[in-house]
Chains A and B, each alone.
Chain A
């Protein structure tokens, strides 16, 4: 291998660290997707667009002179209501229909959001400057922006917070009960309609947090949503539903993969390699399962 990245250990370390910090963010988005997939059995193609919308909330706070890190608090609040609104308008009509209907409906929402954001916020690539500076490691040969460390830390805090909330709170128990058996939960007095709305809202709120962090650490653009959806979908199918450590691990793995693909193939193939990886993973799983005459369900 004559790739520079493998000859210089510091570069390898740099890419790995970048990838892990990025992957923690991906895992947070994937966690939201796993939650609503598990509870409502819906694959939300608009997931990435919710992330980008959350990012714009933080960006606008930055424009109005508020430090964008507060977006981590504000964005989920707004996004929760956006999520509940989407649920009431669209999702509750597709929730127990054919899965393809929900994929197509959320695809429509995704196009709608993409375009509305394009009109409202313009087609420029933007970022909210947090002014956090960078940390230098190993004689300045590895640089880590503090904003990335901050975002990874916040992601972990939110993820742990949500896990605890799901375990302890009444709503969390209701959500878990509905995920196990919606009908039985209904009989036992759980208002599943409310649970679904709350689940979708929580998912949107998580997207809002992730979006705010992405607007601080990376860049956002109205059309960048779909890759985030695909990434979170990929993480969920690799880890499996309801496997939280798995989500975290595969999120970091994906982050590292992306950083290396970026170095080796070039930035123009970065998104392409993500989508190709999805295809390869699905095909691999399919062959592995077909030996037992099973298929992905």
Chain B
């Protein structure tokens, strides 16, 4: 326990100091934070609950659009803003920008949560691959439909308010970094605390055998919806931050980007090891470093590399990094190992 506190304190200090240690990578670090949030929340469904969703991108994109719309709509007419394509006819003062951002993030987190609660009863009644395909359809449908709505920019996209001039060039990067870092800390604390309660056991029971869980008197639907709402809350938050960070929202390439972000979150959680607390964090970090480090070598071929990566990870490495570690060092994970049994197994091999 004592060791854990030191570890968390060290990580927190590192997280707070990171933008000053690596000033050139502030944007990348912010994106990493958003990716960790997405992987952690996907893990609630895919890892703990056994509901492999492609649809969490829905909440992410929804949060992105909502945050930007609120931020603009609070002070200026939204339709004219999107029509001007981000021309400098309307300029946010710093106060307006930060007020709008704060309000926007609240809305971006709350509305997707409500949406998840509303559609949860219908969608979460599906199981297995029907759920996977249905959520895939949901994500793509949201992208296609939002690409046809005029007021949020339709096909030409939506420019989010530019960061106001507050005197320092570094301010933008630092602001978004600390915002996303806060989101990670908040998500991690929430996820960690729910993983130590009965709630997690119920989710695992649903994953292992839903019918039996129901027969035991657990109202599985209630817990499934609550789990999805928690995911939606943080996905929406992450989307809102990402919208401000990227500065430009397109319906299918940025917001409801099932081909990129929607797959990334699944891949990161699987790479790290699904159904573990640290797996998604490790997976997201490894994936992001790999992506940014090696993408430049595959310039133009990123998606080809991504496709190959998905196939390879899914086929040869489905247990992920944490699963592999667990197999190698079971003692560290609190599993009781019988030495004689282990030796016998090694000899058998």
**Chain A residues within 8 Å of B, Cβ to Cβ:** 43, 90, 93-94, 97, 99-101, 103-105, 107-116, 119, 226, 230, 233, 237, 266, 268-269, 271-272, 275-276, 278-279, 282-283, 286-287, 290, 295-297
Known contacts: A112-B307, A114-B303, A269-B145. The answer to whether A103 contacts B129 by CB under 8 A is yes
With both chains docked as a complex, state the minimum distance between the C-beta of A106 and any C-beta of chain B, in angstroms: 9
Contacts of B138 in A (CB 8 A): 275, 279
Q: List 6 A-B contacts (CB under 8 A).
A: A103-B52, A105-B314, A107-B263, A108-B311, A226-B140, A282-B126
With both chains docked as a complex, state the minimum distance between the C-beta of A6 and any C-beta of chain B, in angstroms: 22
Query: In the complex, what distance in Å separates the CA atom of A237 from the CA atom of B131?
Result: 13
Question: For the complex, is B73 an interface residue (Cβ under 8 Å from A)?
Answer: no
Q: Tell me if B307 and A109 are in contact (CB < 8 A).
A: yes
- Kindly identify which residue among A97, A108, A237, A295 contacts B308, using a CB–CB cutoff of 8 Å: A108
| Pairs of residues from A and B, 8 with the lowest C-beta to C-beta distance, nearest first | A112-B307, A108-B310, A272-B144, A275-B141, A115-B303, A111-B307, A108-B311, A268-B148
**Chain B residues within 8 Å of A, Cβ to Cβ:** 52, 122-123, 125-130, 132-134, 136-138, 140-141, 143-145, 147-148, 154-155, 259, 263, 266, 270, 300-301, 303-304, 306-311, 314-315, 318
With both chains docked as a complex, state the minimum distance between the C-beta of B48 and any C-beta of chain A, in angstroms: 14
Contacts of B318 in A (CB 8 A): 97, 101
Query: In the complex, what distance in Å separates the CA atom of A278 from the CA atom of B154?
Result: 23
Contacts of A269 in B (CB 8 A): 144-145, 148
Known contacts: A109-B311, A115-B303, A278-B134. The answer to whether A295 contacts B140 by CB under 8 A is no
Q: Tell me if B128 and A99 are in contact (CB < 8 A).
A: yes
Q: Tell me if B134 and A279 are in contact (CB < 8 A).
A: yes
Query: In the complex, what distance in Å separates the CA atom of A186 from the CA atom of B278?
Result: 43
Closest to A116 in B: B304
Contacts of B300 in A (CB 8 A): 119
With both chains docked as a complex, state the minimum distance between the C-beta of A90 and any C-beta of chain B, in angstroms: 6
Known contacts: A109-B311, A111-B303, A115-B304. The answer to whether A278 contacts B125 by CB under 8 A is no
With both chains docked as a complex, state the minimum distance between the C-beta of B71 and any C-beta of chain A, in angstroms: 26
Q: Tell me if B134 and A100 are in contact (CB < 8 A).
A: no
Query: In the complex, what distance in Å separates the CA atom of A191 from the CA atom of B95?
Result: 72
Q: Tell me if B145 and A104 are in contact (CB < 8 A).
A: no
With both chains docked as a complex, state the minimum distance between the C-beta of A60 and any C-beta of chain B, in angstroms: 21
Query: In the complex, what distance in Å separates the CA atom of A287 from the CA atom of B221?
Result: 13
Q: Tell me if B307 and A290 are in contact (CB < 8 A).
A: no
Most buried by B among A99, A103, A114, A230: A103
Q: Tell me if A93 and B315 are in contact (CB < 8 A).
A: yes
Contacts of B314 in A (CB 8 A): 94, 101, 104-105, 108
Contacts of A272 in B (CB 8 A): 140-141, 143-145, 147-148
